[in-house]
Amino acid sequence: MRAAVFYHYGDENCVTVTTLKKPKPAANDVLVKVMATTVTSGDWRMRRADPWAVRLFAGLFKPRQPVLGTEFSGVVEAVGADVTGLNVGDRVFGSKGMKMGAHAQYVSLAADGCLVKLPDNLTYEQGAGVIFGGATALTFLRPYLESRPAQRLLVIGGSGAVGTYAVQLGRMWGAHVTAVCSARNHDLVRSLGAEQVVDYEKQPLPDPGNPFDIVIDTVGKSSFSKCRELLTDSGVYLSVSGGLREWGQMLLSHCPLSSGPRVVCRIVDENANDAKWLADYLERGDLTPVIGKTLALEEIQKAHVIAESGHKVGNLVVNLWET
């Protein structure tokens, strides 16, 4: 099978396309013929080992898993003897999560992993761009938005993979959504449900005034100290790409003696329940994957450059087979 591989950490040039052995599914595994995948911020960060601590689990001197890629969509090619619920020929989408390996024409994963049927109304390209952004936005926002209508939500980075889902979830759950991104993407975020937009090239954040219940920074371009004045006293600052500073602030802001807005960081656990939840809303048309660009596997280096630029729109899809 064809796959994009990298054998040392570095820039996009360390990723090349080669031929690897097709995986064999174990008894409780599903073998998927991958039709489409994405290149995400997670992929370029892993490729660069950025932050350095990535090496502690990905390989100290070189990557243990040479194939990047988390999310994918495709067709079930074979199922292990113990698998029930999925059959050869089913259209599916899912994620390999931190195990990665989706930048390849076939992936094998446990049937009870993050793998569900692809709704009929979604193309493979759309199905590839669901889990990374959708499950992340869902994990962060659900505890604060679902069943709490009329919240005021600020999405910093509203036009990225996570941000486009965050804006849509906000709209779906009845929040008043303000999105921060460049003017190039204002029409897009408005079409997804943002009622107000801020062009970060003119001002990084909205003016303080009518405070927000929730600020979600999907791209790490703000700080809790700068957003504090934008939040209500009981508000939350959701730091999707939180580093050591934000994790420390989360501990401090949750101390019994501290008052005012709190910081929340999380590591997203992509799972079948959330994938099924997303599939249901995608099927109803309440959510739509935003596909900014589609490239071929042979253009994988170009895909890495775009993803690393920090300016990709929604999801950057890579087709695994010639179309």
**Considering only CA atoms, which of 208, 221, 213 is closest in space to residue 237?**
213
Instruction: Return left, alpha or beta for 147; rule: phi > 0 is left, psi -120 to 50 is alpha, else beta.
Output: left
Of 257, 260, 322, 274, whose CA–CA distance to 116 is shortest? Answer: 274
Out of 2, 142, 228, 266, the residue judged to bind ligand NAP by CB under 6 A: 266
Of residues 108, 151, 178, 185, which one binds ligand NAP by CB under 6 A? Answer: 185
- The Cα–Cα gap between 168 and 82 comes to 38
CB 76 within 8 A of CB 89: yes
Q: Does 268 bind ligand NAP (CB under 6 A)?
A: yes
Q: What are phi and psi of 197, to 5 degrees?
A: -130, 150
Residue 288 interacts with ligand NAP (CB under 6 A)?
no
Mark residues 59-98: x for contact with ligand NAP by CB under 6 A, - for none.
----------------------------------------
CA distance 245 to 223: 9
In 131-258, where does DSSP find H-type helix? 136-145, 161-172, 186-192, 224-227, 244-253
Closest alpha carbon to 92 in 71, 111, 117: 117
Q: Is 41 in the site for ligand NAP (CB under 6 A)?
A: yes
For ligand NAP, which residue of 31, 39, 161, 177 counts as binding (CB under 6 A)? Answer: 161
Point out which span in 17-25, 181-189, 230-238, 250-258 binds ligand NAP (CB under 6 A): 181-189
CB nearer to ligand NAP: pick between 142 and 311 = 311
Q: Does 184 bind ligand NAP (CB under 6 A)?
A: yes
Q: Is residue 245 near ligand NAP by the rule CB under 6 A?
A: no
User: What is the closest distance, in whole angstroms, from the C-beta atom of residue 164 to ligand NAP in the complex?
Assistant: 8
Angle between helices 300-309 and 41-48 (to 10 degrees): 100
Q: How far is the CB of 184 from ligand NAP (least distance, A)?
A: 5
If one asks whether residue 136 binds ligand NAP (CB under 6 A), the answer comes out as: yes
Nearer to ligand NAP, 146 or 269 (CB): 269
> Which parts of 17-99 fold into alpha helices (H)?
41-48, 54-58
**Footprint of ligand NAP on 188-207 (CB under 6 A):** 200
Point out which residues bind ligand NAP (CB under 6 A).
40-42, 45, 132-133, 136, 156-157, 159-163, 180-182, 184-185, 200, 218-221, 240-241, 266-268, 310-313
